[in-house]
Amino acid sequence: MKPRHSVLWSEVAERDLLAMIEYLANDSPSRAHEILKDIQKMSSSLYSFPERGRIVPEFREHGIMQYRELIVGPWRIIYRAINQNIYVLAVLDSRRNLEDLLLQRFIGQKL
């Protein structure tokens, strides 16, 4: 039997998810709930199969292979596996440029 992993959400990923659900709920609460359930279901699949997601293409282009993503259209759940832990790092809109989103985060980050 394969060992199970722990799936841990970063504060940033939790804020991403909350903001996205709140935005969707303004238009359609039932749709927001449905998307939330889909994201929870998809991310919970990482407990037993962390390699399920693809390597993030924008990172692969630069030789960075340790970050993976799951797609719950149009959202990207970006995560990294370290030993028995799976860290969900971000939930981003795939219609936006990933590099721009990350740059905005780093510029706004306090040291």
Which pTM does this prediction carry?
0.85
CA distance 36 to 91: 11
**Alpha helix segments (H runs only) across the chain:** 11-27, 29-44, 57-60, 98-108
Q: Among 40-54, 62-76, 97-111, where is mean pLDDT lowest?
A: 97-111
Question: Which of the four pLDDT bands, split at 50, 70 and 90, describes residue 111?
Answer: very low
42: Cβ contacts below 8 Å, ≥ 6 apart: 70, 72, 77
List pLDDT tens digits, range 26-51.
999 999 999 999 999 999 989 888 88
On average, the pLDDT of the chain sits at: 88
pLDDT, greater one: 4 or 36:
36
Going from the N-terminus, what domains does the chain have, and what CATH number goes with each?
A: 6-108 (3.30.2310.20)
CA distance 54 to 66: 10
Q: Is the pLDDT of residue 16 over 90?
A: yes
Residue with structure tokens 């039997």? 1
Predicted pLDDT of residue 107: 67
Residue 9: which H helix or E strand, with range?
A: strand 6-9
